Amino acid sequence: MTSVNKFERPSQLEGCSLAIGIQRTSTGGHIGLYYRPESSPVFFLHLAFHNRLRSDPIDGEYGWIECPGLSPDEAEDIGLWLAEVWARNGNRIPYGINYWRGAHFRRDGTFIPSPNGDGLTCATLVVALFEGYGLPIIDTATWPVRLSDRKFQKLIVDTLEQDWLARKDANHAQRIQQQKTHIGHAARFRPAEVASAFSVWNRSLVKFDDARAGGKQIVLSLKRLGL
């Protein structure tokens, strides 16, 4: 069973170069990566929303999960690479509900959107980062389109539309129409399922059924921890 730890003090993450950070939200959860570049403090890299990639100090409102499949050297190197991702991209990562393999990170840390401009969610950011580093975690082809995700997708697209209108985005009409075509047709990578895959990965791609079972346990653990 995946161990979910409640962050209570910085010393909990001493010697830990990389971990998942996750919390429950009204829309089903939020996820990111705790990383420590060399001897620096621990930061939390996550996609808050459209063009809002953030690298924040650690936060006690999140649970954290380690990835035993990574060697200490790999975890340390990925932590350094995430610092490069933040330095190269700043907050400029687009949001989108359809995860295309065309959206990816180059090995130098630069984000490349898909040919049609689709971006990422908080969960697919984690997926894309590991793929970009060269250690893919999940078998994306096994993720189904679920009717139960349609409500979430519509809510996100409606919120994106309001966000882009407020920003006076010149391309907002085209962007919104594009996102609307994905509602009910795109597979959703739920934060707890991605966290579950991260926690059990052992050099083989994690399939949907395995990630879903562990994801349910992670949600229950977060509830018990009050997160």
Looking at residue 100, its pLDDT comes to 75
Interatomic CA distance for residues 147 and 14, integer angstroms:
42
Indicate whether 10 pLDDT > 80. Answer: no
Question: Checking phi first, is residue 203 left (phi over 0); if not, alpha (psi -120 to 50) or beta?
Answer: left
Backbone angles phi, psi at 36, to 5 degrees: -125, 105
pLDDT band at 207 (very low <50, low <70, confident <90, very high): very high
User: Measured between alpha carbons, how far is 198 from 210 in angstroms, rounded to an integer?
Assistant: 11
pLDDT recorded at residue 13:
67
Listed in sequence order, the residues at least 6 apart from 58 whose beta carbon sits closer than 8 Å to its beta carbon are 7, 10, 13, 21, 34, 41, 42, 43, 44
- What does the pLDDT average to over 4-9? 76
| Whole-angstrom distance, CA of residue 221 vs CA of residue 227 | 9
The 10s digit of each residue's pLDDT in 89-120 is: 999 899 999 997 778 999 999 999 887 778 89
- Please give the pLDDT value at position 176: 87
